Amino acid sequence: MTIEDKKFKTIKVEREDGITWLYFNRPEKRNAMNPTLHREMWDALVELEQDPETKVLVLTGAGDKSWCAGQDIRETFRDRIRERENNPGARREPGGPRYDWSWGLLSTFAAPTIAMVNGYCFGGAFPALIACDFAIAAEDAIFGLSEVNWGILPGGVIPRVVRDVMRYRDALYYVMTGDPFDGKKAAEMGLVNRAVPREILREETVKLARHLMEKNPHVLLGAKEAFKVSQDMNYAQARAYVGVRERAMIATDPEKGREKGMSQFLDEKSFRPGFGAYRRE
């Protein structure tokens, strides 16, 4: 049985020519996340990371209105509060790490990841958005950190991660006001790489995925890890870590990309590093 054939209730997986499309699949709930979706996302990502057909992973939303509207308020908040009131000993459901699929699994996924934001992106969806390596949004997609409007705080890692990608004043403004903003504003603030008209959103996403698939996947993973891991280091630590990471990458690269690139550049005169990837034969 392939992963596409599995009977998921809240997500959907499609694969096409090296691109794996992973969908939030609760369009009737604007793709809001509930406990079942968290468990299914965890299971799917664990399996897909070992899938040789997944060269690039695209995370998007089913339907044409919503990417992900955040946490399902009824199931995630009201029902859990009532459950705890009726069973005070049940502090959290077993398997809690499954709920950390976005910042735990998605942010370190072995293949490049792209968030294709096709509609509403609110609250609890922000960690998954920011965990993806790249993000392309429809210009009319609507974003918002609306928690302050109904009496809670943006939860988990949200206050930290929005500051990582957005300007300080912008991040604080939207955390404290809960005001919505569109895809164009998201691109202006650095929350997404760019915003495009909705009618070419998928086309532009595929174009980026194809561009990434031209690169050596082993080197892409090394570059991704070097960038993300070194963020919390001082300069001396970062320099030392990146040097070790690069030597390990070169030693274990099954394509021997450095040798191929140098040969095509120096000997064949067929490759210019600043204008595309070396020829992967």
Residue 82 has pLDDT above 90, yes or no: no
- Residue 260 CB contacts under 8 Å (≥ 6 apart), including other chains: 278, 279, 280, 281
Rounded CA-CA distance 97/104 in Å is 8
Pairing of strands 56-61, 19-24: parallel
- Residue 96 pLDDT: 55
- To the nearest whole percent, how much of the chain has pLDDT over 90? 82
Average pLDDT of span 9-19: 97
In this model, does residue 95 exceed pLDDT 50?
A: no
Higher pLDDT, 4 or 245: 245
Range in 18-22, 156-160, 182-186 the model is least confident about: 156-160
Structure tokens at 278: 């070396």
Is the pLDDT reported for residue 168 higher than 70?
Answer: yes
Count helices and strands in the chain by DSSP H and E runs: 11, 10
What does pLDDT average to over the chain? 92
**Tell me, what's the pLDDT at 86?**
59
pLDDT at 92 over 80: no
Residue 213: is its pLDDT beyond 80? yes
Query: Is the pLDDT assigned to residue 89 strictly greater than 90?
Result: no
Map tokens 């709930």 to a residue. 29
As a whole number, mean pLDDT of residues 58-73 equals: 95
pLDDT category at 75 given cuts 50, 70, 90 is confident
Q: Is the pTM of this model over 0.75?
A: yes
Q: Judge contact between 130 and 166, C-beta under 8 A.
A: no
Strand-pairing partners, residue 12, are 23
- pLDDT at 103 exceeding the cut of 80: yes
Q: Is the pLDDT of residue 255 over 80?
A: yes
Per-residue pLDDT band at 198 (split at 50, 70, 90): very high
Per-residue pLDDT at 4? 80
**pLDDT above 70 for 85:** no
Looking at residue 74, its pLDDT comes to: 83
d(CA 253, CA 251): 6
Q: What is the pLDDT of residue 156?
A: 86
Q: What pLDDT does 2 receive? A: 82
